[in-house]
Amino acid sequence: MKNKIQKIFIGISIIVILAMGFMYVPTKVSASQNFFQKIVSIFTKKPTVSLGATNPIPTPIALFQTSLASSITSTSTSMTLVSATDKDGNTLNGTYAFIIDEGTSSEEFVNADCVSTSCTNMTRGLSVVTGTTSITALKKDHRRGSSVKITDAPQLLILSRIINGISTFPNKLSYTTHPTFDSDTQIIDKKYQDDLASTGAVIASDTAKGISKISVAPVSSTNPIAVGDNDPRVPTQGENDALVGTYGSPSSSNKFVTETDPNFTGIVKTTGNQTIAGIKTFSSIPVLPNSDPVNANDAVRKYYVDTLVAETTDSITDDGGLVTIYFNKRGKFYYNIRAISSSHIQGNGYACAMRNDGTGVTRLASLLGKSISTYSVQQQQVSANTMTTSYYSGGRWNGYSSNALNEGIITNMTTSN
């Protein structure tokens, strides 16, 4: 029986809605719009959340009523009121819930931020269940002069849902004064919790964990950080031992030297490039690297000088060992140069000076792996067919029997390396 009554009631409601549809003439609606689609949407469309007004819970004002100064459409997000002064003489300034065209087919709940008669950030078509969600089917067009009243319906819906645990508080709760809590189900305040945390734990010791205070003020009072013994900023035992120093105890008169200290940067280091000014007197002879100098201002070791001034006699072979070139040497200076070969050079194995055509001395430098800096030539009297000068040509040594009284021969050679 109960189900039959419910079905009859629903049927009557639909008939009433359809009858109102035929009598309803919407404002600013084109003729092509199908009014019955709006009726169907009431039963088919799902509510959507629309964040409009600034404050989540509107401010109620008793007995405030005015009207629209101009018409609005169902999609408008602002409206202008004719007046904005309440019974106490105060001008609207905040978030309010309104009912527009109360008791008519265009009845609609809205939220809006109002400053005097200008209302913006409107949430249209407020749900009659939640007071916050926007229902598309409940958004209406309103003519100029439509009644506008401040209502507490959305506010009561919101507060009811918060109290029942369906919704949450939008802001923090606070007491006027700190109360005394004596029941397990009472909502405590921050002071009670802080007092409980500070008095409910034991004081820390070297054997027990507990409450302690830090030795210096933290960088952040809201996020104090204690340093652990594994923090890399804490010196290890070995580092602490090293801080004792190597001579005397560290103090204000016996400080550690930092790398940027002028006294530190002015000392001679064992590695790295440095320019040393002033006269330095050595009590012992400095020992240089086992290498020869390269640049003009390089320091010279004793061995290099001894090698330069010591006279040596040396030789080198060529032409597959058939020719031997002899010379005397002092460092880079070569002299008394002569070539000997009984098969290649005329002279029957006698020493032959090098002819002044540059071929012999160039070949000698090449054999020695040296570069010629200079060489000297001297005119020497030669008896015909009794003395031969040597020269290098075509990949071999040759002799030249001079018939002239004077022949230019190479007397010495200086290399650059």
> For residue 54, how far is the Cα from the chain centroid?
38
Pick the range with the lowest mean pLDDT from 39-53, 278-292, 294-308: 39-53
Burial class (CB in 10 A: 0-12, 13-18, 19+), 22: exposed
pLDDT band at 400 (very low <50, low <70, confident <90, very high): low
Can you tell me the mean pLDDT for 171-193?
87
Better pLDDT: 323 or 261:
323
Domain count, the chain: 2
Closest CA to 336 of 411, 269, 400, 395: 411
> If you search the block for the tokens 């105890």, which residue do you land on?
249
Pick the range with the lowest mean pLDDT from 11-15, 76-80, 100-104, 331-335: 11-15
Q: For the segment 308-340, what is each residue's pLDDT rounded down to a tens digit?
A: 788 999 999 888 888 888 899 998 899 988 888
Residues 42, 86 contacting (CB under 8 angstroms): no
Closest CA to 102 of 151, 135, 42, 156: 151
156 domain-assigned = yes
Is the pLDDT reported for residue 117 higher than 50?
yes
Residue 401 confidence (pLDDT): 56
Residue 173 confidence (pLDDT): 83
User: In the 8-state DSSP scheme, what is residue 262?
Assistant: H
Instruction: Among 163, 180, 203, give the residue marking a domain's end.
Output: 163
Residue 16 confidence (pLDDT): 42
Residues 129, 113 contacting (CB under 8 angstroms): no
User: Among the residues of 301-356, which ranges form H helices?
Assistant: 302-309
pLDDT band at 165 (very low <50, low <70, confident <90, very high): confident
Is the pLDDT reported for residue 112 higher than 90?
yes
253 domain-assigned = no
| pTM reported for the whole predicted model | 0.36
20 domain-assigned = no
Better pLDDT: 117 or 354:
117
Query: Which range has highest mean pLDDT (55-64, 92-101, 203-212)?
Result: 92-101
Residue 55 confidence (pLDDT): 62
Residue 38 confidence (pLDDT): 40
Closest CA to 345 of 356, 336, 354, 357: 354
Determine what percent of the chain is predicted with pLDDT higher than 90.
27
Can you tell me the mean pLDDT for 38-63?
56
**Cβ neighbour number for residue 260 with a 10 Å cutoff:** 7
Question: Cα–Cα distance between 122 and 85 in angstroms, integer?
Answer: 19
Longest CA pairwise span in the chain (Å): 159
Question: Cα–Cα distance between 358 and 410 in angstroms, integer?
Answer: 8
pLDDT band at 19 (very low <50, low <70, confident <90, very high): very low
Better pLDDT: 169 or 28:
169
Better pLDDT: 17 or 132:
132
Is the pLDDT reported for residue 113 higher than 50?
yes
pLDDT band at 382 (very low <50, low <70, confident <90, very high): low
Better pLDDT: 414 or 55:
414
Is the pLDDT reported for residue 27 higher than 50?
no
What secondary structure does DSSP assign to 64-110, as a single string?
Answer: -EEEBSS-B-TT---EEBS--B-TTSPBPEEEEEEEESTTSTT-EEE
41 domain-assigned = no
Is the pLDDT reported for residue 47 higher than 70?
no
Average pLDDT, the chain: 79
138 domain-assigned = yes
Can you tell me the mean pLDDT for 271-299?
88
Determine what percent of the chain is predicted with pLDDT higher than 70.
77
- Encoded tokens for 288: 């240089």
236 domain-assigned = no
User: In the 8-state DSSP scheme, what is residue 145?
Assistant: T
| Intra-chain end-to-end CA distance of the chain, in Å | 126
35-to-29, 39, 71 alpha-carbon distances in Å:
10, 7, 20
Q: For the segment 126-146, what is each residue's pLDDT rounded down to a tens digit?
A: 999 988 899 999 999 999 999
68 domain-assigned = yes
Pick the range with the lowest mean pLDDT from 157-161, 226-230, 330-334, 346-350: 346-350
Instruction: Among 163, 181, 214, give the residue marking a domain's end.
Output: 163
Better pLDDT: 393 or 168:
168
Residue 277 confidence (pLDDT): 84
Mapped onto helix, strand or coil, the DSSP state of residue 381 is strand
Which residue range forms the structural domain that includes residue 107? 48-163
Instruction: Among 146, 163, 180, give the residue marking a domain's end.
Output: 163
Is the pLDDT reported for residue 119 higher than 80?
yes
86 domain-assigned = yes
Question: Cα–Cα distance between 211 and 207 in angstroms, integer?
Answer: 13
